[in-house]
Every structure is written in C-alpha cells, then in structure tokens.
Amino acid sequence: MADPKDQAAKQLANIQASTGKSVADFAAAIAAAGLEKHGQMVQFLKREFSLGHGNANLIAHTVRAAEAPAQTSDDLLAAQYAGRKAPLRAIYDRLAPLAQAAGPDVQVVVQKTGVSFRAAKQFALIQAPSSKRVTLGLNLDATPDPRVAPTKGMCTHQAVFTAPEQVDGDVSAWLAAAYARAAK
C-alpha cells in the first residue's frame, strides 16, 4: 500500500532532481518574497520556478508544515471535535473502533478534517463537517442500506449520524464490506 507520506517524499525527491532545488531552497525563496498564504506561495512557485500546480502545492504545504508547530494525532482529533462539535465526539468514539475492527491490517490516519481508515487503500472516512452531524464515507460496490447514500469524492457512499445510538450492528457490516473491497 502506498503511504501518503512516502508518496509525498518521492514527489519532493523528483522535484529536487528535476529543478536542482531542495525544499529549503524553495522555503528561502518564499520567505524572501514575504509570502505567508498558501495560494500566494503556489502562484509564486508556478511563476518563478515553472512548477506545475501539483508540485507547487506540495512544496507550499511542506513549507507551511515546517513552520507550524507539530501536531499529534490526538491534537488533530481533539481539534476536529472542539467547541460546538464536542457533542459529536461520542459518535466518532462509537464508529472508530468498528472501523479498526474491520480487518487485521487497518491503518488509522488522523488528518486535520477527518480520520481515514485504510487497508490496501482507504475504505472509510469519518468527518464532522458541521456541528450537527458526523459523516461516515465508505468505498462500497453497492448501497447496503437506505441509510447509506451514493456520493461523489473520495468515497463512493456516505452515511450521516446525528446521535451515537444510530451506530448499530449494521454499521459493522458496512465497514466490513468496505474493508473487503479495499483489501482486494
């Protein structure tokens, strides 16, 4: 399975090989230009170094991440369920163990806006897009239940939860099906 961090490292190595510039070189140029916003950095890198959008975007993210204080998975998760979203943490706390139990090689990747569950590839994504609901994105071949709807984006299907009691035995079956599809 391709780890996103390994993919980014390989892409950065390819950028250095093709441009002769390291991330530190790009960071110095960005600092010299006095840029702080991500979009400004991307446009600058594209214009000044003729980078494609994907490469410029990765460098801007990497430079900004190096400047930001390091956050642990616990910090990221706490931030997702802070403030008005705090009551939704109980829903996450019911969903996450079910996703982790879907298979023996499940990897949990906590990001700024959600938690991804991966086997050979992502099979589930838990997010709290508002203070009213938690979504469970699933990658499935078919719609298993009326509570699961087809969607677009990183997942093929999505279920919405507004209370912990809605996380029932059916959810385990959905996650198992998504895991089986990802493990193929």
Q: What's residue 164's pLDDT?
A: 98
Name the domain count of the chain.
Answer: 2
Q: Domain end: 67, 88, 105, which one? A: 67
87 shares its domain with 140: yes
Q: What's residue 129's pLDDT?
A: 97
What's the pTM value of the predicted model, to 2 decimals? Answer: 0.69
For residue 120, pLDDT over 90 is answered with: no
Looking at residue 87, which CATH number applies to its domain? Answer: 3.30.1460
Percent share of the chain, pLDDT over 90: 86
| Whole-angstrom distance, CA of residue 14 vs CA of residue 9 | 9
Q: Which domain holds residue 111?
A: 74-183
39 shares its domain with 17: yes
Angle at 57 between CA 135 and CA 32, to 5 degrees: 135
| Whole-angstrom distance, CA of residue 165 vs CA of residue 161 | 9
- R_g (Cα) of the chain, nearest Å: 19
Percent share of the chain, pLDDT over 70: 98
Q: Grade residue 37 by pLDDT with cuts at 50, 70 and 90.
A: very high
89 shares its domain with 61: no
62 shares its domain with 87: no
9-25 pLDDT tens trace: 999 999 999 999 999 99
Q: What's residue 1's pLDDT?
A: 47
